């Protein structure tokens, strides 16, 4: 006899579990604790199968009968309803596992294992923050170019054009990782190539004439602030490196005997091995600096914490105190100063100059970095640059 809601509510727990049939293979399994669970028994290709639909009353009598009818319809078409149910469950699980946020987490984890610097990873987290908030809950296969553009437009509305373009690039990195992993087929950020406002390129201010460079060098030499700050600027000018590379320099990286500085590749922007020649005057400067900060790990520890380096703002403020504002020169602009003077001298191989600056070049040969590449010429180049700086400093 078919079940009714009244009959179901009247069912009580017994010492052992028991079954109460409806019809068409549908029945209630009543546990010894009184739970009432819907089940369906069926046969497919001569073999008995079973489906579970959940508890009553969460699954009503009508819902259970509708589910039974759907299973019967599948059986008529030759399908096994249990297999179809599992396939649907797997697809739903796949969707939940492949939402943007989870794929982004996998992408960040990959970069972390590759040894990307904490600063790079921190910036990546920041650039993905809006995307995570706006569509991070969505399956990555359902995220379209207009959805991404809507998120990026918010940054554009504040005039943050460069940030919006960088965000697009990082979002694209997540999608390219997903494509490579077989999670999705396309990267919708490709369709946004010309959709964003392009930021105006502004080059970092740099000194490119002897008279102004001589003036700057004399101000650095006579700087009345922290001596360590002046030495940091002198080393930065000599090495033509990125400010972060010298600010984070450690004493253990300097080999005075072999006259070279070898920062770890993890700290280099291009993540490649790079060595820097040490001329006589730089070795003397390092000797002076060791008397000031040699007790610690860092060449230039912060006054707030010996475990943290000085900030780039320390160098900017020192230049400003000397009368050189950011429109005239920046610490990063020291690289352009070196490159300009070295190239205009006509004395050096342009490739050797590029390697001295640890720049990445699209040329496959120039893209190789190791200690021996142009090393002898770079040693001579370092001596030439050191002598020129000392000469201008004394003008």
Tokens of 366: 């120039």
Residues 113 and 24 reside in one and the same domain: no
- Mean pLDDT, the chain, rounded, equals 85
Rounded to 10 deg, the angle between the 100-113 and 161-180 helix axes is 90
Enter the tokens of residue 379.
């040693």
For range 233-237, the mean pLDDT: 95
Reading the block at residue 117, the tokens are 């610097």
Q: Are residues 144 and 266 in the same domain?
A: no
Are residue 31 and residue 75 in the same domain, yes or no? yes
Residue with tokens 């990782």: 177
Q: Please report whether residue 173 resides in a domain.
A: yes
Q: How many domains does the chain have?
A: 3
Q: pLDDT tens for residues 168-187?
A: 999 999 999 999 988 888 99
- Within this chain, do residues 129 and 12 fall inside the same structural domain, yes or no? no
230-243 average pLDDT score: 93
pLDDT at residue number 145: 94
Q: Kindly state whether residues 382 and 285 are assigned to the same domain.
A: yes
**Is the domain of 20 the same as that of 133?**
no
The verdict on 139 and 282 lying in the same domain is no
Whether 361 shows a pLDDT value over 60: the answer reads: no
* 155 and 85 within one domain: no
- Give the integer Cα–Cα distance in Å for 357 and 240: 6
Residue range 354-361: mean pLDDT, rounded? 74
**Of residues 287 and 199, which shows the higher confidence score?**
287
Region 138-146: mean pLDDT is 90
Report the CATH number that the domain containing residue 77 is assigned in CATH: 3.30.160.390
Q: Check: CB of residue 217 under 8 Å from CB of residue 385.
A: no
Res 312 pLDDT > 90:
no
Q: Side by side, which strands form the sheet with 260-261?
A: 254-255, 260-261, 276-277
Residue range(s) defining the domain that contains residue 16: 5-96
For residues 202 and 162, what is the distance between their CA atoms, to the nearest angstrom?
Answer: 11
Q: Specify whether the CB–CB gap between 341 and 385 falls below 8 A.
A: yes
pLDDT value at position 359? Answer: 66
Same structural domain, 349 and 228: yes
Report the share of the chain in percent with pLDDT over 90. 33
Q: Is residue 348 over pLDDT 50?
A: yes
Is residue 370's pLDDT more than 50? no
Q: What pLDDT, in 10s, does the model give residues 21-53?
A: 888 889 988 988 888 898 888 888 888 888 888
* Domain-embedded: residue 198: no
Tell me the average pLDDT across 286-304: 92
Q: Can you give the pTM of this predicted structure?
A: 0.53
Q: Strand 47-55's sheet: what is its strand order?
A: 18-21, 26-30, 36-44, 47-55
Res 363: pLDDT: 46
Give residue 232's pLDDT: 95
For residue 263, the model assigns a pLDDT of 86
Lowest-confidence region among 92-106, 181-195, 217-231: 92-106
CB atoms within 10 A of CB 225: 12
Residue 65 within any structural domain of the chain: yes
Distance between CA 381 and CA 395 in Å, rounded? 21
Contact 239, 261 (CB under 8 A): yes
Which pairs count as long-range contacts for 376-380, CB under 8 Å and 24+ apart, including other chains? 377/348, 377/349, 377/352, 378/277, 378/352, 379/277
- Greatest mean pLDDT among 2-6, 75-79, 367-371, 381-385 lies in 381-385
pLDDT score of 369: 44
Q: What are the pLDDT digits (tens) for 241-260?
A: 888 899 999 999 999 999 99
Tell me if 71 is assigned to some domain: yes
- Secondary structure string (H, E, C) spanning the chain: CCCCHHHHHHCCCCCCCEEEECCCCEEEEECCCCCEEEEEEEEECCEEEEEEEEECCCCCHHHHHHHHHHHHHHHHCCCCHHHHHHHHHHHHHHHHHCEHHHHHHHHHHHHHHCCCCHHHHHHHHHHHHHHHHHHCCCEHHHCCHHHHHHHHHHHHCCCCHHHHHHHHHHHHHHHHHHHHCCCCCCCHHHHHCCCCCCCCCCCCCCCCCHHHHHHHHHHHHCCCCCHHHHHHHHHHHHHCCCHHHHHCCEHHHEECCCCEECCCCCCCCCCCCCCEECCHHHHHHHHHHHHHHCCCCECCECCCCCCCECCHHHHHHHHHHCCCCCCCCCHHHHHHHHHHHHHHHCCCCHHHHHHHCCCCCCCCCCCCCCCCCCHHHHHHHHHHHHHHHHHHHCC
pLDDT the model gives residue 3: 87
Q: How many Cα neighbours within 13 Å face the side chain of 252?
A: 3
pLDDT (tens digit, 9 = 90+) per residue, 327-341? 888 888 898 899 989
Percent pLDDT > 70 in the chain is 90
Burial (CB count <10 Å: 0-12, 13-18, 19+), residue 346: exposed
**Position 365 pLDDT exceeds 50:** no
Are 156 and 140 spatial neighbours (Cβ–Cβ below 8 Å)? no
Tens of pLDDT, residues 100-109: 999 999 999 9
User: Residue 201 — very low, low, confident or very high, per pLDDT cuts 50/70/90?
Assistant: low
Residue 208 has what pLDDT? Answer: 83
CATH code for the domain of 214 = 1.10.443.10
In terms of domains, do 78 and 113 share one?
Answer: no
- The closest of 95, 115, 113, 92 to 103, measured between CA atoms, is 95
Tens-place pLDDT, residues 61-106:
898 899 888 888 888 888 887 787 777 665 555 456 788 999 999 9
d(CA 280, CA 233): 17
Give the CA distances from residue 106 to residues 88, 110, 176, 316, 384, in Å, rounded to whole numbers and listed in that order: 24, 6, 12, 37, 48
Phi, psi of 179, rounded to the nearest 5 degrees: -65, -45
Q: What is the structure's pLDDT at 268? A: 65
* Domain-ending residue, one of 64, 80, 96: 96
Q: For residue 261, is it within any domain?
A: yes
Residue 197 lies in a domain: no
Do 32 and 145 reside in the same domain of the chain? no
Residues 104, 91, single domain; the answer is no
């Amino acid at each position: 006899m078919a079940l009714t809601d009244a009959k179901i509510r009247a069912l009580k727990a017994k010492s052992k579990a028991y079954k109460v049939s409806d019809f068409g293979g549908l029945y209630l399994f009543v546990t010894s604790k009184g739970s009432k669970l819907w089940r369906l028994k069926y046969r497919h290709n001569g073999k008995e199968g079973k489906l579970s639909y959940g508890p009553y009353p969460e699954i009503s009598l009508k819902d259970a009968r509708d589910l039974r009818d759907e299973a019967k319809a599948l059986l008529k078409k030759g399908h096994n309803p249990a297999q179809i149910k599992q396939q649907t469950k797997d697809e739903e699980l796949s969707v939940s596992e492949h939402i943007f946020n989870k794929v982004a987490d996998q992408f960040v984890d990959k970069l972390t294992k590759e040894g990307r610097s904490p600063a790079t990873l921190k910036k990546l987290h920041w650039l993905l923050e809006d995307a995570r908030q706006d569509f991070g809950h969505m399956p990555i296969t359902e995220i379209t170019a207009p959805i991404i553009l809507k998120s990026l437009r918010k940054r554009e509305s504040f005039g943050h054009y460069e940030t919006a373009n960088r965000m697009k690039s990082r979002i694209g990195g997540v999608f390219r990782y997903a494509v490579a992993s077989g999670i999705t087929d396309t990267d919708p950020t490709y369709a946004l190539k010309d959709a964003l406002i392009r930021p105006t390129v502004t080059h970092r201010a740099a000194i490119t004439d002897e008279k102004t460079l001589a003036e700057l060098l004399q101000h650095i030499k006579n700087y009345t602030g922290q001596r360590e700050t002046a030495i940091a600027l002198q080393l930065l000018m000599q090495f033509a490196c990125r400010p972060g590379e010298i600010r984070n320099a450690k004493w253990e990286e300097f080999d005075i005997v072999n006259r070279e500085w070898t920062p770890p590749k993890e700290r280099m922007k291009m993540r490649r091995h790079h060595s820097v020649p040490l001329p006589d005057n730089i070795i003397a400067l390092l000797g002076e600096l060791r008397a000031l900060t040699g007790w610690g790990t860092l060449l230039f520890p912060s006054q707030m914490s010996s475990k943290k380096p000085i900030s780039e703002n320390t160098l900017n403020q020192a230049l400003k105190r000397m009368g050189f504002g950011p429109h005239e020169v920046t610490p990063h602009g020291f690289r352009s100063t070196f490159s300009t003077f070295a190239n205009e001298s006509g004395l050096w191989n342009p490739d050797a100059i590029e390697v001295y600056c640890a720049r990445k070049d699209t040329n496959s040969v120039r893209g190789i970095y190791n200690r021996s590449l142009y090393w002898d010429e770079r040693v001579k180049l370092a001596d030439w640059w050191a002598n020129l700086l000392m000469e201008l400093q004394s003008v």
